Structure 1
């Protein structure tokens, strides 16, 4: 999990390193990946699309959690993560802690299963700091994306 601007630099650097090592890479936002999978599903070619993506050495999924997913979209995203688990690399970026992913995916069980697959064999980076985009704007903070600890 990372925040701007380091987030972008880190995933681009890792993708470049993978490409230089001869791996095929693909980059898109979480919403774009779901749209691609939904289109494949609607065309009856979801298994073929998942197989095609599995052949990629690295998928970069940016902006996980910026927009909540409906149940069908959450299931497609879970299938993407699950199909990569222990087969190929995945870089995810999010402005949300894992504790909030149940809200994004509309299902705590699906979110927990997805997180389990993501963090197993992973290096999880948590970066803190202000948004680079706020520099020189006079705005010090934005609404927090941190988990509400009062609900425990």
Structure 2
């Protein structure tokens, strides 16, 4: 028997006691190494090795490919759970044709995630309802699915959690939680005016991530109004300096998504009521 044929034959499902023992040892090795996906796929891969005349290397590559895919899927699922995204939106859910206030090519470029390589920040600014949070979530989802540690929070929740960590004498741990992810999304920046403790804690996070990890933030307040929201012009200047040193500003000036959805829903109801009224036969008058 030629060497190549013998190699393929050795990959076929076990037919002799020796082959069966070897097969069980192989499954044991895979289980010991916690390669559970590969262990489950082993019979099918051995069948394919026989039916498709695969070489030993080709069969091993297929088997390890199954395990690698399972690991990538599990890691992506874990990243998504950790990211705590409030909605399942992706970049493709954003209707660029209905929102002329944003440059689609810029968002598509950001979705390539090159901005994460040098800890560049992204700042979405625009009035309520234009899709700032949707875009931030879409980019965060892309980052999480491609293996980057990502976390989504609102500015108010971030400050609340750090205040609690400070009161419980574990501030260093609480701060690391927000500074270690590759990407941190801070939604609704400037939604409320911050007191002294709040703005100091926010600055600690931004300063701790400076030149180390990217931040995406959304705000309906223009950068010129941040000093008033923070209540401290000097601190606002330092915060803005760190965000914009490596920063991309994406200003959105267009119609509200929510108002458009509300109008579409109202129009649908109105058409339904009109159709229902026109199809109802008129009652005969009583003589």
Query: TM-score scaled by structure 1?
Result: 0.84
Instruction: Please give the secondary structure, in 1, of the residue aligned with 2:249.
Output: coil
Correspondence 1:14 to 2:139: yes
Task: For 2:145 and 2:228, locate their aligned partners in 1 and report how far apart those are by CA, in whole Å.
Answer: 37
Which of residues 105, 112, 116 is equivalent to 2:237? 112
Matched, 1:2 2:125: yes
Q: 1:12 and 1:134 mapped to 2: Cα distance?
A: 20
Deviations along 1:71-124, one digit per CA (max 9) or x if unpaired, are 111100111111111111111000011111111111011011001101111111
Higher helix fraction (1 or 2): 2
Task: Please give the residue correspondences for 1:1-152 in structure 2 after superposition, counting only pairs within 5 Å.
Answer: 1-3=124-126, 4-135=129-260, 136=263
Gaps of 5+ in 2: 1-123, 265-287
Looking at structure 1, the residues matched to 223 and 130 of structure 2 have their Cα atoms a distance apart, in angstroms, of: 20
For CA contacts below 8 A with separation 6 or more, give which structure has more relative contact order.
Answer: 1
| Cα shift at 1:53 | 2.3
- Retained in 1: the 8 A contact 2:130–2:253? no
Partner Cα separation in structure 1 for residue 222 and residue 137 of structure 2: 21
- Cα displacement (A) at 1:132: 2.1
After TM superposition, which residue ranges in structure 1, 4 or more long, deviate above 6 angstroms?
Answer: none
Q: TM-score, normalised by structure 2?
A: 0.46
Aligned pairs, how many? 137
**Partners in 2 of 1:17 and 1:122 — Cα distance?**
19
- The RMSD of aligned alpha carbons is 1.5
Q: Tell me which structure has the larger Cα radius of gyration.
A: 2
Deviation at 1:20, TM superposition (A): 1.7
| 1:58 Cα offset (Å) | 1.1
Which residues of structure 1 form unaligned runs of 5+? 138-152
